[in-house]
Structure formats: structure tokens, C-alpha cells
């Protein structure tokens, strides 16, 4: 994969210690059977792992009632439940930095497989945990510990997956490859949503609180082990093989190189990640609880509408990746973030509405959330190959830890004063994404495609 060293603002980086990434690039080619296999296995693995990470939020209301005292005020119980959810995000930088370090030094594939194993075990444990009624305060503390472990695992998985696929696919299909992988990852949210719908449809609320809430977590542990097995069939990326063969794997701590030579690229990717986190955390993960608590929409209906929005999100990621190869990432960002701004206000201002308008508006805003696929498209290219995993992981996870982790807590407090808080938050961040599209790195996808076409 081509990776120049241009950074936002036009500043020039320090002299590179590594051979230019252009020299570590195969001749232009089209997608072959091995590429489709890599995409399929990577996307499926991402689906299963991200399911493990997000299933918590679909049962946040039930978990809050089971893992905290019954006499606690509802708003405080919800705040603490989402606080534990946030802990998973706050743990992401630690896991991401460690896993990315060894991914740049030892290889992408090994860490790509390790991250999903580290996710499966805590998910299974959550499904088996005793509740507050059984062991008191130890219950939420154990739940917190498992979420921290999950956060560390997902911190390595997301950047690792994007780098792994980005270094495998042909240059001309780079956007498509990243978009398909991102759609697979968001498919984990869809899977979680569908499982939550099935549980709430099949069991009564009393049965869900009694035992059925455990089923999705136990399934998640099994899904994780399946994904570990599937990733045995993947191969190391051609870019890392080339680096290792030329002995140009990073010799110093990769993160040190990133912080010294690629600070502005880190800031750019971090800001893009803030936009991504607003779209995912607010629209997809937080909104089902918001619909139930603020607008008193039945849980089953809220989850069904969320499943539709997640499906359109998955399709939107594919569309954004495909379009980036043809019209450039900048154009896709401008259209996508502008559309998210408009549809977010349309959706939240129209609540509770009717079931028909709920599904229509939620599905439409979900489609524009698919613009998030442009974030890794720009982010993977922002760093040179020897420190690519570490650079993307550091910028992405630090931003997500702060903004993604604290967003549910901020919204829970904000909603005490303004029921339109989710719409305002998403709209402001969509505006930020629109502005970021005008910076140099946003257009690089189009320029690299053109360059590859002329090669």
C-alpha cells in the first residue's frame, strides 16, 4: 500500500528512517480469490469479535437492575451501568498500544488472532457472573474487570483488522476492501441487535432478567473461539513480509517514532475518530436505551428499529468504500457527513412518532452513519508501513477512549436538561467531519488511486 508522508497543514515530517512505502508495493492488480478469502475471514472475525464487545449495551437496562442495588435511583443506576461500558473504551489505548507494538515488530497476523482470543474469554465470563443479589458489590466490580479486558482486546482488533486488510488488497480496490471490512465489523452490532430482539421476543421481561440475558454472552464466548480458529487460515500481509525480508521492521519502539515524526497525522486521525465515535456510540449503541427511557418506546420495538438502522449502516459502509475508489474519500466525506447532520435532526426531532416513521428515519440516519468507513480509509494511509499499526492504533484508541467512552455518560447527564441532546451532539461532530474533509489527508485516497492507475 502506498503511504506518503504528507500531513495535515502541509508541514513536512522529519527525514524518514525507512524506505518509502511506495517501494513496498506490488504491481497493480485486481481482486483475486485469495483477496476475497482474506476479506471474508477478516470481516467474519470482526463481526464475531465486535458482537462480543457491544452486546453489553443492548442489555444495559437489565444489567443495571441486576448488578446494582434495587433502591438506587434509576438515573444513577443507568449512569453507573454506562460508566462500566465506558471503562471498556478507556482500556482500549493500553491494549491497542501493546498489541500494535508487537504487530509492527512480530507481524500483523499473530496479533490479529491474539486480540480475538482475549475478547472471547471475558465475554463468556460475563455470561456466568453472579449478580448483586448473590455477592453484593463484588458483582459490579467483576463486571467492570471483564469490560476492561474486552476493551484491551478491541483496542488491538480494530486497527489491526484495517491494517491487515489494507495491506492485502490491491491499490485500486483499497477503499472497497476497507469498506467491506468495516461493514463486517458493524455487522457485529447488527448481530448483537438481532440477538437482543430475539431474546426480548422469545422471553418475557421476567425471564430475561432471570436467566435469558446470559444467553447472548455465552454465545459470544463460543463465537470468539470460532473466530480464533478461522483466523488460522489467514496469511501474513505482503507489506509486512517485505519489511521483514528487507530487515526494515521498526528497530526502535514504534510508538516513539510515531510521536516524534507523525504527530499531526495522529491529531487528524484522532479528530476523525471522534466523529466516528459520535456516529456509532450515539446513533447505534446509545439510542436503543434512549428510546426506551426518554420516549417510552417498548424494548422490542426499539431494538427492531435499531437492527434496521444497523443493517443500513452496514450497507452504508460498503457504499462508502466502493465510492471512495471512484470519486475519492473527500467527496464521500462531504456528502456523508452532511447527510448525517440533516438526518440526525430529522430522526431525533420526530420522536416518538409512529412505528413506520421510527423505522424509516432510523434506517436513513443509519445509512449515513456508514460514512465512518472513510475514517480507516484515511487513517491507514496516514502512517508509513513500519509504524502503521502503532500510529493508527494510538491515534484511534486514544480518541475513542476519551470521546467514545465518555459520550454515554455525558449524554445521560445532558438529557436531564435537553431531550434533544443526542441530535445536537451528533450534528456538531458531523460538522467537524465535514470540515476535516477539506484537509490534505482526506483527498489522498483519490490521489493514490490515480497514481496507481498511471503506474
Secondary structure of 244-257 in HEC code, one letter for each residue? HHCCCCCCCCHHHH
Residue 406 and residue 77: Cα distance in Å, rounded? 16
Q: Which domains does the chain have, with CATH numbers?
A: 32-235+262-454 (1.20.1250.20)
DSSP of 386-444: GGHHHHHHHHHHHHIIIIIHHHHHHHHHHTTT-TTHHHHHHHHHHHHHHHHTTSHHHHH
DSSP of 261-313: H-HHHHHHHHHHHHHHHIIIIIIIIIHHHHHHHTS---HHHHHHHHHHHHHHH
First to last CA, the chain: 13
Residue 309 and residue 322: Cα distance in Å, rounded? 20
Q: Which percentage of the chain shows pLDDT scores above 90?
A: 29
So what's the pLDDT on residue 441? 63
Asked if 405 and 86 count as a contact pair (C-beta separation under 8 A), the reply is: yes
So what's the pLDDT on residue 234? 65
Alpha helices in 91-173 (DSSP H): 92-105, 108-128, 132-135, 138-166
List of the chain residues with pLDDT < 50:
1-27, 248-250, 445-455
Nearest to 401 by CA among 101, 46, 87: 87
So what's the pLDDT on residue 383? 86
Asked if 64 and 81 count as a contact pair (C-beta separation under 8 A), the reply is: yes
Residue 422 and residue 282: Cα distance in Å, rounded? 6
Phi, psi of 338 (to 5 degrees): -65, -40
So what's the pLDDT on residue 157? 74
So what's the pLDDT on residue 375? 94
Phi, psi of 28 (to 5 degrees): -55, 140
So what's the pLDDT on residue 142? 92
The percent helix, strand, coil of the chain (3-state, each to 5) is 80, 0, 20
Helices (H) then strands (E): counts for the chain: 22, 0
At 228-264, the pLDDT tens digits run: 777 776 665 565 566 555 554 445 577 788 888 888 8
Residue 94 and residue 111: Cα distance in Å, rounded? 14
Residue 332 and residue 218: Cα distance in Å, rounded? 39
Q: Is 253 exposed, middle or buried (0-12, 13-18, 19+ CB in 10 A)?
A: middle
Cell of 399: 480518541
So what's the pLDDT on residue 9? 41
So what's the pLDDT on residue 10? 41
So what's the pLDDT on residue 28? 52
At CA 38, angle to CA 285 and CA 363, rounded to 5? Answer: 30
Asked if 208 and 199 count as a contact pair (C-beta separation under 8 A), the reply is: yes
Residue 70 and residue 34: Cα distance in Å, rounded? 54
Nearest to 237 by CA among 33, 27, 38, 46: 38
Region of 348 (left: φ > 0; alpha: ψ -120 to 50; beta: rest) is alpha
Side-chain half-sphere exposure of 195, counting CA atoms within 13 A: 25
Nearest to 148 by CA among 168, 130, 126: 126
Nearest to 394 by CA among 163, 144, 119, 56: 163
Amino acid at each position: 500500500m502506498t503511504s506518503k508522508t504528507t500531513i495535515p497543514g502541509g508541514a513536512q515530517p522529519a527525514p524518514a528512517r525507512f524506505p518509502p512505502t511506495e517501494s513496498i508495493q506490488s504491481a497493480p492488480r485486481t481482486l483475486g480469490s485469495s483477496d476475497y478469502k482474506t476479506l471474508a475471514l477478516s470481516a467474519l472475525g470482526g463481526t464475531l469479535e465486535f458482537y462480543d464487545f457491544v452486546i453489553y449495551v443492548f442489555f444495559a437496562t437489565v444489567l443495571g437492575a441486576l448488578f446494582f442495588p434495587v433502591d438506587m435511583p434509576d438515573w444513577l443506576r443507568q449512569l453507573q451501568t454506562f460508566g462500566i461500558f465506558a471503562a471498556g473504551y478507556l482500556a482500549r489505548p493500553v491494549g491497542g498500544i501493546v498489541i500494535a507494538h508487537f504487530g509492527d515488530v512480530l507481524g500483523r497476523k499473530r496479533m490479529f488472532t491474539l486480540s480475538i482470543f482475549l475478547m472471547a474469554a471475558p465475554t463468556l465470563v460475563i455470561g456466568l457472573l453472579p449478580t448483586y443479589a448473590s455477592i453484593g458489590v463484588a458483582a459490579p466490580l467483576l463486571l467492570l474487570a471483564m469490560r476492561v479486558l474486552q476493551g484491551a482486546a478491541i483496542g488491538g482488533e480494530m486497527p489491526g483488522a484495517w491494517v491487515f486488510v489494507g495491506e492485502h488488497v490491491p491499490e485500486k480496490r483499497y477503499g472497497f476492501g476497507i469498506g467491506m471490512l468495516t461493514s463486517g465489523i458493524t455487522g457485529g452490532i447488527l448481530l448483537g441487535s438481532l440477538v437482543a430482539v430475539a431474546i426480548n421476543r422469545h422471553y418475557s421481561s421476567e425471564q430475561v432478567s432471570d436467566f435469558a440475558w446470559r444467553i447472548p454472552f455465552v454465545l459470544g464466548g463460543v463465537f470468539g473461539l470460532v473466530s480464533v480458529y478461522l483466523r488460522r487460515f489467514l496469511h501474513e500481509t505482503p507489506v509486512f513480509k517485505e519489511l521483514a525480508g528487507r530487515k526494515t521492521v521498526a528497530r526502535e519502539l514504534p510508538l516513539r517514532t510515531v510521536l516524534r515524526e507523525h504527530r499531526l497525522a495522529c491529531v487528524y486521525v484522532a479528530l476523525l475518530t471522534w466523529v466516528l465515535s459520535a456516529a456509532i456510540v450515539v446513533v447505534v449503541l446509545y439510542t436503543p436505551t434512549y428510546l426506551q427511557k426518554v420516549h417510552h418506546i417498548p424494548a422490542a420495538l426499539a431494538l427492531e428499529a435499531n437492527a434496521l438502522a444497523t443493517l443500513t449502516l452496514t450497507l452504508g459502509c460498503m457504499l462508502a468504500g466502493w465510492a471512495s475508489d471512484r470519486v475519492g474519500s473527500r467527496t464521500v466525506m462531504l456528502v456523508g457527513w452532511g447527510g448525517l447532520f440533516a438526518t440526525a435532526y430529522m430522526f431525533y426531532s420526530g420522536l416518538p412518532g409512529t412505528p413506520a416513521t421510527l423505522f424509516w428515519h432510523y434506517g436513513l440516519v443509519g445509512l449515513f452513519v456508514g460514512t465512518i468507513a472513510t475514517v480507516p480509509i484515511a487513517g491507514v494511509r496516514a502512517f508509513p508501513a513500519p509504524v502503521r499499526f502503532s500510529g493508527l492504533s494510538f491515534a484511534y484508541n486514544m480518541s475513542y477512549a476519551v470521546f467514545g467512552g465518555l459520550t454515554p455518560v455525558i449524554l445521560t447527564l445532558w438529557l436531564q436538561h435537553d431531550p434533544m441532546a443526542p441530535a445536537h451532539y451528533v450534528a456538531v461532530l458531523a460538522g467537524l467531519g465535514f470540515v476535516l474533509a477539506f484537509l490534505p489527508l482526506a483527498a489522498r485516497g483519490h490521489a493514490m488511486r490515480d497514481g496507481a492507475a498511471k503506474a
